């Protein structure tokens, strides 16, 4: 992104920040959430922060608009937030080199927090041996959510699909019943998430980590598993509806909620939209892992704290108050119920957990079954390159899997040499 664009975006962000009522200490919270379920979840945190006597000033931007770059620009420009949403460990490393982060290992240990994190959560918030993030919710990057009424009317049962081939084989039956089999929003963000979810599901942990590891292995692009994943993305693109172009993920979810489509394969934050619509898991909708899946890509939404000499003692205390709120067992359960996520603590209250949460927790217990979201382990330029290639592939029926393989290899050379 050009510096001029960065400056303009930063200026826009600062203008749109919304101030809270008067509090002794006000925290500037920088995030990328904007859908109804996301805002409802954030309000769980905000309400408790306010109750503890601290203010919340929002700086919110849409998903996938260079958030990490904008954060860096705000910090170097002298207008840093106190709390920021972050997945990229390299951002944490860069800020740590400048003395601007707040390590949390000791704080969480003293407050008996980290011992209650699942291993996947602990791994996601640890950077170079130190806990540097506040985990907020656990998500599976690719899960299948479906409308139970549509499934009944179409005479199909997604819970019985044992492979993607079995799923695609039922598409003619679903169409014959008058329903769109698959709802997909044709945006680079949604195609990118679908791609890495399918690489995990089809290729398993070894193939996935060779694609998305800190230093990818370029020989992976010639493996049959990788090529099968790319072929499957093409199968998905061939089955979208005409209105899919640039449709937001939550609007796509609404197609399934309202019975226009049978299912959507996307991050399981979809559940927040179902619950906001008053729908109940097991009654109105079902959820399963991608049929035949060999590995799940797991996202752990997390916050970072800005430290350094410019942060006074009052704000340092307020930041740690925020951290304590986010990982409180009761709060993480309430947050998860609104967001559609799974709580970050194993000792969280279970009253609000449903069969989709149980599926996530059971999946996380399986050995060698979970892999980290690319945003927790991969070079950001590499992720963006994959998104660009796959979005072109998605929209161009003439582009082949061989073309994808060649472009991946070229980008690998450009980025990693």
Supply the DSSP string of 348-361, one letter for each residue: S--TT--HHHHHHH
| Separation between Cα atoms, residue 260 and residue 41, nearest integer Å | 27
Angle among Cα 40, 332, 360 to the nearest 5 degrees reads: 100
Could you give the CA distance from residue 94 to residue 34 in angstroms, rounded to a whole number?
Answer: 27
Q: What is the mean pLDDT of residues 158-175?
A: 98
CA angle, residues 193, 33, 113, in degrees to nearest 5: 90
Q: pLDDT, tens digit, for every residue of 244-294?
A: 999 999 999 999 999 999 999 999 999 999 999 999 999 999 999 999 999
36 and 115 in a single domain? The answer is yes
DSSP 113: -
Higher pLDDT: 5 or 101? It is: 101
As a whole number of Å, the end-to-end CA separation of the chain is 22
Decide if pLDDT at 2 tops 70.
no
Mean of the per-residue pLDDT values of the chain = 91
Are the C-beta atoms of residues 62 and 16 closer than 8 Å to each other? no
Residues 313 and 328 both lie in one domain = yes
Whether 237 and 316 map to the same domain: the answer is no
Whether residues 273 and 408 fall in one domain: yes
How big is the CA angle at 253 (ends 255 and 139), to the nearest 5 degrees? 165
CB 85 within 8 A of CB 108: no
d(CA 110, CA 45): 22
Task: Quote the pTM value.
Answer: 0.86
User: So what's the pLDDT on residue 61?
Assistant: 79
Q: Do both 280 and 325 map to the same domain?
A: no
348-357 as b/e, with b when 16 or more CB fall inside 10 Å? beeeebbebb
Domain boundaries, position 183? 143-297+378-416
Extract the tokens encoding 219: 């020989």
**285 and 347 co-located in one domain:** no
Number of domains in the chain: 2
CATH label of the domain that carries residue 175: 3.40.190.10
Is the pLDDT confidence value at 414 over 50? yes
């Amino acid at each position: 992104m050009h510096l001029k664009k960065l400056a303009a975006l930063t200026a826009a962000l600062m203008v749109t920040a919304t101030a809270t009522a008067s509090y002794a200490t006000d925290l500037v919270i920088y995030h990328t959430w904007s859908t109804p379920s996301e805002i409802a979840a954030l309000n769980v945190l905000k309400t408790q922060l306010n109750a503890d006597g601290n203010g919340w000033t929002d700086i919110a931007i849409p998903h996938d608009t260079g958030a990490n770059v904008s954060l860096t620009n705000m910090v170097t420009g002298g207008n840093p937030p106190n709390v920021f949403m972050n997945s990229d460990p390299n951002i944490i490393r860069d800020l740590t080199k400048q003395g601007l982060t707040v390590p949390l290992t000791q704080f969480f240990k003293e407050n008996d927090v980290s011992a209650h994190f699942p291993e996947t959560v602990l791994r996601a918030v640890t950077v170079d041996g130190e806990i540097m993030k506040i985990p907020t919710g656990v998500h599976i990057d690719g899960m299948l959510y479906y409308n139970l009424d549509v499934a009944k009317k179409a005479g199909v049962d997604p819970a019985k699909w044992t492979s993607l081939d079995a799923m695609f084989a039922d598409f003619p039956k679903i169409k014959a019943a008058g329903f769109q089999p698959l709802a997909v929003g044709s945006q680079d963000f949604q195609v990118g998430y679908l791609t890495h979810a399918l690489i995990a599901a089809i290729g398993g942990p070894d193939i996935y980590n060779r694609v998305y590891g800190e230093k990818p292995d370029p020989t992976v692009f010639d493996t049959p598993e990788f090529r099968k994943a790319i072929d499957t993305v093409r199968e998905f693109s061939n089955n979208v509806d005409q209105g899919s172009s640039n449709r937001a993920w939550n609007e796509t979810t609404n197609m399934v909620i309202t019975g226009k489509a049978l299912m959507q394969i996307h991050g399981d934050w979809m559940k927040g939209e179902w619950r906001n619509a008053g729908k109940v898991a097991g009654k109105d909708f079902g959820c399963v892992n991608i049929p035949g899946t060999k590995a799940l890509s797991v996202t752990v939404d997390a916050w970072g704290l800005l430290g350094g000499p410019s942060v006074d003692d009052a704000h340092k205390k307020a930041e740690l108050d925020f951290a304590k709120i986010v990982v409180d067992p009761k709060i993480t359960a309430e947050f998860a119920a609104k967001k559609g996520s799974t709580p970050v603590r194993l000792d969280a209250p279970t009253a609000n957990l449903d069969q989709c949460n149980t599926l996530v927790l059971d999946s996380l217990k399986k050995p060698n079954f979970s892999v980290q979201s690319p945003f927790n382990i991969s070079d950001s330029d590499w992720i963006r390159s994959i998104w660009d290639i796959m979005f072109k592939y998605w929209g161009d029926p003439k582009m082949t899997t061989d073309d994808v393989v060649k472009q991946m290899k070229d980008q690998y050379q450009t980025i990693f040499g």
